[in-house]
Structure 1
Amino acid sequence: MKSLSQILMLSLSIFLLSCEMKPTIGFLVANLEQERWQKDIDNFKANVEDLGGIAIVAVADSDEKVQYEQALKMIADGVDVLVVVPVNRTKACEIVKTAHKNSIPVISYDRLIKNCNLDYHISTDNIGIGELQANYLTKIKPSGKYGIIGGATTDNNAYLLKLGQMNVLQPLIDNGSIEIIFDSYTKHWSIHEGYEMTNKYLQESEDIDAIIAGNDDLASGAISALKEHNLEGKVLVAGQDADIEAIKNIVIGNQTITIYKPIESLSYAAADAAIKISKGIAPSNGSVTVNNGKRLVPAILLQAQIVNKQNIEMTVISEGFIKKEEIKKR
């Protein structure tokens, strides 16, 4: 008959063994500059834990060298899978190469990692988002002067958004209905850059009908510049991410639309894929792929939604992304 101490030791051994069997998923996030990223982290961690894993998170504060060092630490600590929101779409390939040398698969989350043997990609259809933005504004203003504020050059999504926007705008440009008065990518996805680009144009001319911005921070910066020229609410503005400030701007009429990415679904898809991959199970049938310049990467691409003044209640509020009382706060 076992003694009490032997029983306790056996119980402890079983407990520790069960902990060791849980797959550990590393989540490398580029930054927390946009409010959505904290929601991605919180949802991802909860989903990994619900699926029987352990999530470890590190935020690189937009420093690609820091992100690489964070990856090295997670690899040394023995994570089973890395999920990466890359700071730099090309430099992050070093993370993939190093992880593979240690037999660790890598999933890129939201932003594609270019030119490497990436294992999997989870994102929204960013070309589709660009088309949603341009389609909505051109239905209201099928002719006029349009400004385009692109996203960060380090982020592959910026190029995909532009491709989608131009799918809609180019025929209207070709027939002379629309004139592009400014069009540039940014270094970051920042309010300051949105302001500077818009204000630079407005100092020379206030003849503008619409602005398509890569995200809501860029849109917010553009709106600040429009306010200085008494043009807020008179110019159509499209953004992306459904940030709380964007929703407030939509309510008061200074922003036309934003795009809501299904963050809960994205984070679940990434957590589910990571847990499956850690167990040697393919996350999907591989029918969807994206070309990252090196290979066709198996992918899950979710659809985004337009949020306008009429459907705020039915979209971001009903899905719990934003609380109604938050919109009323100033």
Structure 2
Amino acid sequence: MRKTGLFYLLLIFVTHLSMGQSIKVGLLFDQFASARWEVDAGNLKEEFSKLGVETILKVAHSSIEKQIAQTQELVDEGVNAIIVVAVDGSNSSAIIDIAKANNVIVVAYDRPILDNRVDLYVSYNNLEVGKMQAKSMMETVKNGNIILINGPVADINAIQFRKGHLETLKPYVESGQIKIVQDLVLDNWSDVSALMRLYEVAPDFTQIKGVISAVDWFNDAAIEYAGDSAIFTNIYMTGQDPSTATAIKIEKGIQNMTVFKPIDVLSKKAAEMTMARLKKQEIKGLQNYSIGEYTLSSYLFNPIFIDKNNLNEYRSQFNK
């Protein structure tokens, strides 16, 4: 009797494993210019590997045309689902067209794709990230000139960050308490792009009270431009996606806060939701998240506010 029970347990295990091995998932990434995305890709491959699922990774190097072509390549290789970090979330309908024509599930990862046919979207509440950054600055900066530095409009998250900034700052701008002297929207997320733009607009940081940087490395560009980090101990600076270098800046008072969005939970949830959808299982915690005219079936994590008061609680989890 006991041997029979063990036999059935073994049979169930082998069946489950073989089902997993018959599934292929494509990982379609924008670029690896930021080391963060390599970590995401590695995490996703590991999570699916635990489930016995084969993954195929492709990187578009910030070319929407290449990402569309890679979608077809993944379909030709027999994937059942594609997890996409979109090059341009506003212009990725061709990706959805290809996937839907071949009954392939599409999961928008971290960046939304503005198409109601997207099966799932997993990320953080990025509108809240922008509000968190602006609110924290206004709790310290009561008046004066400020600068906004944000990422490209091709990344819908950048639009959400900026929307959160402007919604929060609106009453302070209208009352004349603060003045946005530069509202910089960059072509990409690189610190080099931020540095070049700062040289172009040539701000005088001695006249600035606050800098709302969408991400931490834009602050590095500001420091390099100014040539002296000490000046920023008198300027409120925000950020996002902290590294160990961020922790040092916060300790020295060069940067005041950052927004931490642990990425390991994203990859785990993306793998979990993808498999549940493939198996037509219920996915708990989904919400309808609206961006303009589009509504995505989403799972959104809450971002974590970091400053000198709770820095040591989280710093071991930051990127190196």
Shorter-normalised TM range: 0.7 to 0.9
Take 1:295 and 1:232, find their aligned partners in 2: how far apart are those partners?
A: 40
Q: Which residue number corresponds to residue 251 of structure 1?
A: 251
Take 1:205 and 1:236, find their aligned partners in 2: how far apart are those partners?
A: 11
Report Cα offsets for 1:40-72 as digits up to 9, x if no partner: 112211112223422222222112122222211
Q: Which residue number corresponds to residue 151 of structure 1?
A: 151
Which 5+ residue runs of structure 2 have no aligned equivalent? Answer: 1-13
State whether structure 2 residue 58 is matched by structure 1 residue 73. no
Take 1:200 and 1:309, find their aligned partners in 2: how far apart are those partners?
A: 33
SS at match of 1:179: strand
Q: Which residue number corresponds to residue 295 of structure 2?
A: 296
* Preserved contact between residue 223 and residue 254 of structure 1 (Cα < 8 Å): no
* Preserved contact between residue 20 and residue 53 of structure 2 (Cα < 8 Å): no
Name the aligned partner's letter for residue 65 of structure 2.
K
TM-score for the superposition, normalised by structure 1: 0.85
SS at match of 2:296: strand
Q: Measure how far apart 1:304 and its partner are.
A: 0.9
Take 1:62 and 1:124, find their aligned partners in 2: how far apart are those partners?
A: 22
* Preserved contact between residue 194 and residue 218 of structure 1 (Cα < 8 Å): yes
| Shift in alpha-carbon separation, 1:59–1:266, aligned structure 2, 3 A | same
Q: Measure how far apart 1:77 and its partner are.
A: 0.8
Task: Give the percent of matched residue pairs that are identical in Structure 1 and Structure 2.
Answer: 25
* Preserved contact between residue 30 and residue 63 of structure 2 (Cα < 8 Å): yes
State whether structure 2 residue 278 is matched by structure 1 residue 281. no
Q: Measure how far apart 1:19 and its partner are.
A: 6.7
Report Cα offsets for 1:91-136 as digits up to 9, x if no partner: 3221111000000010101111113511111110001001111111
Q: Measure how far apart 1:283 and its partner are.
A: 2.5
Q: Which residue number corresponds to residue 268 of structure 2?
A: 268
* Preserved contact between residue 30 and residue 87 of structure 1 (Cα < 8 Å): yes
* Preserved contact between residue 117 and residue 294 of structure 1 (Cα < 8 Å): no
Q: Which residue number corresponds to residue 170 of structure 2?
A: 170
Q: Which residue number corresponds to residue 6 of structure 1?
A: none
State whether structure 2 residue 196 is matched by structure 1 residue 196. yes
* Preserved contact between residue 219 and residue 237 of structure 1 (Cα < 8 Å): yes
Take 2:293 and 2:117, find their aligned partners in 1: how far apart are those partners?
A: 7
Name the aligned partner's letter for residue 38 of structure 1.
E
State whether structure 2 residue 42 is matched by structure 1 residue 32. no
Take 1:271 and 1:80, find their aligned partners in 2: how far apart are those partners?
A: 13
* Preserved contact between residue 236 and residue 256 of structure 1 (Cα < 8 Å): yes
* Preserved contact between residue 205 and residue 226 of structure 2 (Cα < 8 Å): no
Take 2:136 and 2:129, find their aligned partners in 1: how far apart are those partners?
A: 11
* Preserved contact between residue 202 and residue 229 of structure 1 (Cα < 8 Å): no
Take 1:199 and 1:236, find their aligned partners in 2: how far apart are those partners?
A: 20
Equivalent positions of 1:1-330 (< 5 A) are 18=18, 21-203=21-203, 206-227=206-227, 231-284=231-284, 286=286, 288-292=287-291, 295-317=294-316, 320-322=317-319
Which 5+ residue runs of structure 1 have no aligned equivalent? Answer: 1-13
TM-score for the superposition, normalised by structure 2: 0.88
SS at match of 2:107: strand
SS at match of 2:233: coil
Q: Which residue number corresponds to residue 8 of structure 2?
A: none
Query: How many residues align structurally?
Result: 308
* Preserved contact between residue 257 and residue 306 of structure 1 (Cα < 8 Å): yes
SS at match of 2:188: coil
* Preserved contact between residue 226 and residue 232 of structure 1 (Cα < 8 Å): no
